[in-house]
Amino acid sequence: MHALIAALVLACTLLISPAARAQDTGAEPEAASGQAEETPAEERATQFVGVTGPEAESIPGGGLLLAAYAVVWILIFLYLLRMRGLQRQTAEELERLSAELRASGGG
């Protein structure tokens, strides 16, 4: 079974590698055609667009973010209310058991 998996991985690798090599060689004829490559500074200079004025910041998910925070705080609040109720029940049960022990003369 391991040999079959290894053979499949090897076959896929051999099938993919010629396509990767073909993509790599596509850039070489362009450089060989005699055109000089631009430096990054020249490339930025030709693509520069001046600022026309201040732009307002926009957060498209701002409302969703506030809603998510609201949901989390509500869930935390409900969890704390539930814990308070359980603590109250436990305290009442403990008081009841203590009273039963005192009444039976065990304590």
Compute the radius of gyration of the chain from its Cα atoms: 36
pLDDT at position 72: 98
Distances (CA, A) of 42 to 18, 37, 63: 34, 10, 42
Residue pLDDT, tens place only, 12-56 = 677 676 655 555 555 455 544 555 677 877 777 677 667 777 777
Show the tokens assigned to 17.
């590698």
pLDDT at position 85: 98
> pTM for this one?
0.42
Quickly state the pLDDT bin for 97 (edges 50, 70, 90).
very high
Lowest mean pLDDT among 8-17, 30-39, 60-69, 94-103: 30-39
